[in-house]
Each structure stands twice: as structure tokens, then as C-alpha cells.
Amino acid sequence: MTEFLLLGFSDVWELQILHFVGFLLIYLAALMRNLLIFMVIAFDQHLHTPMYFFLMNLLILDLGSISVTVPKSMANSLMNTKFISYAGCVAQVSSPFFLLAADFSLLTVMVYDQYVAIRQSLHYERMMNSRACVQMAANARISGILFSVLHTGNTFALTFCGGNIVDQFFCEIPQLLKLTCSGSYLSEVGVLAFTVSFGGGEAIS
């Protein structure tokens, strides 16, 4: 398997152009919004606090999440093609899991930041110093990498023998599992159990 065929939208050229224009407007709007908020935080000295530091990290992750699948989909519509390489498909599977897990971890850190600010205000500056904030942001990304490697490795370790047609405009695990001939039930149960444990642990913390 060297490439996959994405079948998310119509074969009609006019509808593909409409899809391209619509997704372009959405992408540019999201890009401008995130960049505007990022610049406001970066240039306003009063906003250089842990909460806004983590918010800037969330903005970066948000930009990454919309840049993983949307540009490729727009390019396919504009060039009237539906193919994506194997490596590109791996990237589209792994990146959302990394971004989702890192995003969830950062939201948990932000809750912890507010807890310290309210319940331990006298120790806030000592506990939430710049070094601690950087370490928390880095740990959020590390957890995202581990989460992504687990899901992506589990998916692409399977054997694909059901063709290369993905009934979606980007590569996603449920559609890819339909193309496998390996027994994926036990591995998916294991990954699901880990996901629930990860989410539950983050929620409890």
C-alpha cells in the first residue's frame, strides 16, 4: 500500500470548487482569529501570566489541528485529485491524536492554574513560575506524542487488504480499519481502555 484514495466529496468539478472556496474561507477565518489573539497576548505585557501562556499554547495547537486535514482537502479539490500518500495518511491519523491529547492536557493544566490562584494565592507565584509553566506545557506535548504513537502504531501495524479507498475527505482510523484483514478487535479494545484511563486520569487530576 503506497497511497490511499479519499472519497469525501462529489466528483462534480463545480462542487469541488465550491468545497475549495468554502474550506478556504473557514481556514483563513480560523487562522486570522488565532493569530490576532496570539499577537494581542504577545504584545500586551499585562497578559504575560501563566493562564495566557497556556492559552497561547492552545492557540498553536488549534492552528495545527486545522492545518492537518483542511489544506490537503482543498488542494485535492483544486487539482481534481483524490489521492494521498501513505506517509500523508499516517500524518493525518497521528496529528489529530497528538493535538487532541495535548489540548486536553493543557486544559487540565489551566484548571490546576486557576485552582492554585484561588486556593493557594499566597504561594501562586512560587508554584506557577515560568519554569513550571514551561515544564507543564512540555509534558502536555509529551503526553500527546505518546497518545498519538499508540493509536497510529496500532492502526498501521495492521495489514491492509481491502483496497485503498477511504470513504472520507481525510484519513481517519474507523475508515482505515474497514480496509484491514487483520484481527483488530483486541488491539482496539486495548487502545480504547488506555484512552478512557487517560481521559479519566486527566479529569480526576
**pLDDT per residue as tens digits for the range 17-42:** 888 888 899 899 989 998 899 899 88
- Residue showing cell 500524518: 91
Residue 47: band (very low, low, confident or very high) from pLDDT cuts 50, 70, 90: confident
Query: CA 64 → CA 26, 57, 93, 98, 203, distances in Å?
Result: 14, 11, 13, 10, 24
- What residue segments make up the domains of the chain, in order of their start? 3-204
Residue bearing the bigger pLDDT, 62 or 187:
62
CA pair distance 176, 187, nearest whole angstrom: 14
CB-based contacts of 114-121 (< 8 A; 24+ apart in sequence): 114/51
Query: CA 98 → CA 34, 43, 62, distances in Å?
Result: 19, 29, 11
Residue 67: band (very low, low, confident or very high) from pLDDT cuts 50, 70, 90: confident
Residue bearing the bigger pLDDT, 203 or 171:
171
Backbone angles phi, psi at 64, to 5 degrees: -65, -40
Q: Say if residue 183's pLDDT is above 70.
A: no
Mean pLDDT across the chain: 82
Torsion of CA 182, 7, 101, 162, to 10 degrees: 0
**Going by C-beta distance under 8 Å and a sequence separation of 6 or more, which residues neighbour residue 136?**
54, 109
Q: Say if residue 106's pLDDT is above 60.
A: yes
| pLDDT (0 to 100) of residue 126 | 86
CA pair distance 86, 92, nearest whole angstrom: 10
Q: Half-sphere exposure (CA, 13 Å, Cβ side) for 83?
A: 5
Nearest to 125 by CA among 116, 134, 112: 116
| CB-CB contact of 27 with 72 (8 Å) | no
pTM here? 0.76
| pLDDT (0 to 100) of residue 204 | 47
| pLDDT (0 to 100) of residue 86 | 87
120-178: per-residue pLDDT in tens? 888 888 888 989 999 999 999 998 898 888 888 878 887 777 778 888 878 888 788 78
CA pair distance 146, 27, nearest whole angstrom: 28
Residue bearing the bigger pLDDT, 201 or 127:
127
Q: Say if residue 194's pLDDT is above 80.
A: no
Chosen CATH of 3-204 out of 3.30.70.20, 3.40.50.1240, 1.20.1070.10, 3.40.605.10: 1.20.1070.10
